[in-house]
Amino acid sequence: MKTEIYGTLGPACSDPGILAQMLREGMTGIRLNLSHTTLRDAGSMLEMLDAASDLTGIRPKLLIDLQGPELRIGRLDQDLALKTGEECTLGEGGIPVPRILSGYLTPGRELLLDDGKILLKVLQQEERLVRTEVLRGGILKSRKSIAVKDLAIRTPAVTAEDRENLKTAAAAGVYGVMQPFVRSSRDLAELKEAMRAAGAGHLRIFAKIENREGMELVDSFLDDADEIIIARGDLGNAMPLWELPAAQKRIAAACRKRNKPFMVVTQMLSSMEHAAVPTRAEVSDIFNAVLDGAASVMVTGETAAGEYPAEVIRYLANTVREAEKYRESIC
């Protein structure tokens, strides 16, 4: 079994030459994150991908990552530098947040922003704004994720924007649909209905496991997805990080038991956003994911926004191939 190698489209690789390099280095598929754009607006990037395919004769599998039930902040006029120990305002005059959060932002609650990179603690909730303290600072950009720590908030599985994107998915050459935060078979049933209504019912479904509920119920919806994604970003926010490796192992074991393909994603080569060479730990992580039976591995920000997108794919693909050779030698 050959492991699929996925990159992610973004500004860093929005060039036919760079994309062609990534394909030559071994990339077999690519992800488009629709949390920040639409399929229509991403037309120029998809044209560049087509041009790279023409240059190389390699046609990668295109996955679209829907918005799904994940909560995100609104648009910011500019990036915000949030400093540890300072106060930060949410709502009117501050960071725009989804209305559904208003009943949950009580004093003492902790909020995770941008996949947990930034941590806020609620100090006071007023009529139109919430005052918070920055416990862990960082640079905050528009449309980044926001979650209430240790609290699951029920939202629809498929958004209005998702439905619009699905209408153009087949014509755009999409291979599969990534559904975020799958919590139960109901979420995938909702997605399938939306796909059928949009004329995209034939596309493959990739179910992302990103919280405890999805992890604990994964056995109940394995048959409803074509592939499971162990999405370690938000999954790592849902538990202490030292528990994440065991969670990954459990999901992988459940998939192997039922012969369900699975993908491992998030921070596989995170250091390469700014470094030309990965860490030894990252290479070992990729190697072990393949030995655990991963059908696919994916990098995200490393190719979408990093400084070395083609080198990222080179290290990812070569490490995967070495793992495959080792696996064959011990079988």
Q: What is the mean pLDDT of residues 303-320?
A: 98
Q: What are phi and psi of 116, to 5 degrees?
A: 90, 0
Q: Looking at domain 4-70+154-330, does it have CATH number 3.20.20.60?
A: yes
- Specify whether the CB–CB gap between 316 and 286 falls below 8 A: yes
DSSP assignment of 244-303 equals HHHHHHHHHHHHHHTT--EEEESSSSGGGGT-SS--HHHHHHHHHHHHTT-SEEE-SHHH
Q: What is the pLDDT of residue 156?
A: 85
What is the pTM assigned to this prediction?
A: 0.86
Mean pLDDT value across the chain: 95
| pLDDT tens column, 225-235 | 999 999 999 89
pLDDT band for position 25 (cuts 50, 70, 90): very high
Q: Under CATH, what is the fold of the domain 80-148?
A: M1 Pyruvate Kinase; Domain 3 (2.40.33)
Q: What is the location of CATH 3.20.20.60 in the chain?
A: 4-70+154-330
Sign of the dihedral defined by the CA atoms of residues 278, 280, 281, 284, in that order: positive
Q: What is the location of CATH 2.40.33.10 in the chain?
A: 80-148
Q: How many CB atoms lie within 10 A of CB 78?
A: 7
Q: What is the pLDDT of residue 103?
A: 83
- Judge residue 47's burial from the number of C-beta atoms within 10 Å of its C-beta, 0-12 exposed, 13-18 middle, 19 or more buried: exposed
Residue 178 contacts by C-beta under 8 Å, 6 or more apart in sequence?
31, 63, 64, 65, 66, 206, 208, 229
| pLDDT tens column, 247-270 | 999 999 999 999 999 999 999 999
| pLDDT tens column, 156-211 | 899 999 999 999 999 999 999 999 999 999 999 999 999 999 999 999 999 999 99
pLDDT above 80 for 152: no
| pLDDT tens column, 81-129 | 999 999 999 998 899 998 888 888 999 999 999 988 899 999 999 888 9
- Specify whether the CB–CB gap between 33 and 8 falls below 8 A: yes
Q: What is the mean pLDDT of residues 310-327?
A: 98
Q: What are phi and psi of 77, to 5 degrees?
A: -65, -30
Q: Which residue has the higher pLDDT, 292 or 101?
A: 292
pLDDT above 90 for 1: no
pLDDT above 80 for 5: yes
Length of the chain: 331
| pLDDT tens column, 46-59 | 999 999 999 999 99
Q: What are phi and psi of 324, to 5 degrees?
A: -65, -40
Residue 59 contacts by C-beta under 8 Å, 6 or more apart in sequence?
53
- Specify whether the CB–CB gap between 299 and 8 falls below 8 A: yes
Distance CA 16, CA 49 (A): 6
pLDDT above 90 for 285: yes
pLDDT above 80 for 30: yes
Question: 63: part of which helix (H) or strand (E)?
Answer: strand 61-65
Residue 53 contacts by C-beta under 8 Å, 6 or more apart in sequence?
23, 59, 60
Q: What are phi and psi of 76, to 5 degrees?
A: -105, 145
